[in-house]
Amino acid sequence: MRNFLFSILALGLLASCASNSESRPRLPTDAEVEQYNALAPEEDHIACFTRTELGSRFPRRQCYRVADLEAQKGQGQHVVDLMQIDGLLDSPFNLQ
């Protein structure tokens, strides 16, 4: 019985070591980003930064294509403009 419990414990330990150790891909270092941006066309440049998500205390490094960041910024402004037109968002100048 003791050998059976020991073998189950050993299998559980091996399974925990083998499970999901690489759930997220490794992000490039600052030097790798700089080297990539030096060789890549300007529309494919990437930018990495560290930020703390809402509800978390742990900062995470995130990397994005600069073109994608610009597209998201433009889309966010478009949504704000539409909300102001529909009256769902107050104008910063209180014009109505």
d(CA 45, CA 41): 7
User: For residue 47, what are the β-bridge partners?
Assistant: 64
Full-model pTM? 0.51
DSSP state of 1: -
The two structure tokens encoding residue 63: 């990397």
How far, in Å, CA of 30 to CA of 27, rounded?
Answer: 10
Which residues are paired to 51 by β-bridges?
Answer: 60
Cross-strand bridge partners of residue 61: 50
pLDDT, tens only, 56-87: 899 999 899 998 888 887 777 778 788 878 77
More confident residue, 44 or 91: 44
